[in-house]
């Protein structure tokens, strides 16, 4: 079983990495890219949990370890 976790800066938070990329792209001629947001993506290999257990544990792992809840938000999907 695998899990995919996305961690993104909250909409209300500035994203300087994303802005830098957007400016770089504009400078390279990609003016059609109006906005860039950069986040993190995790692939976790899981063993020994039922799908229901994984759901609960992933909620805790995402919230407590992978995300800074002051400035970031997360979502996850369990695969298989």
Residues that bind a second copy (CB under 8 A): 6, 8, 18, 21, 24-25, 28, 30-49, 54, 57, 61, 65-66
Phi, psi of 50 (to 5 degrees): -70, 170
What three-state secondary structure class fits 19? helix
Taking the complex as a whole, the smallest distance from the CB of residue 13 to a second copy amounts, in Å, to 14
**Cα–Cα distance for residue pair 49/56, rounded to 1 Å:** 10
Q: How far is the CB of 70 from a second copy (least distance, A)?
A: 19
CA–CA gap between residue 17 and residue 19 (Å, rounded): 5
Cα–chain center distance at 64: 14
Min CB(64)–a second copy separation in Å: 8
């Amino acid at each position: 079983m695998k899990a995919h976790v996305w961690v993104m800066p909250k909409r209300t938070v500035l994203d300087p990495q994303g802005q830098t990329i957007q400016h770089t792209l504009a400078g390279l001629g990609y003016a059609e890219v109006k906005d860039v947001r950069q986040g993190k993506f995790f692939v976790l290999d899981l063993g020994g949990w039922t799908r229901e257990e994984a759901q609960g544990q992933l909620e805790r792992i995402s919230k407590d370890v992978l995300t800074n809840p002051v400035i970031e938000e997360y979502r996850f999907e369990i695969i298989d």
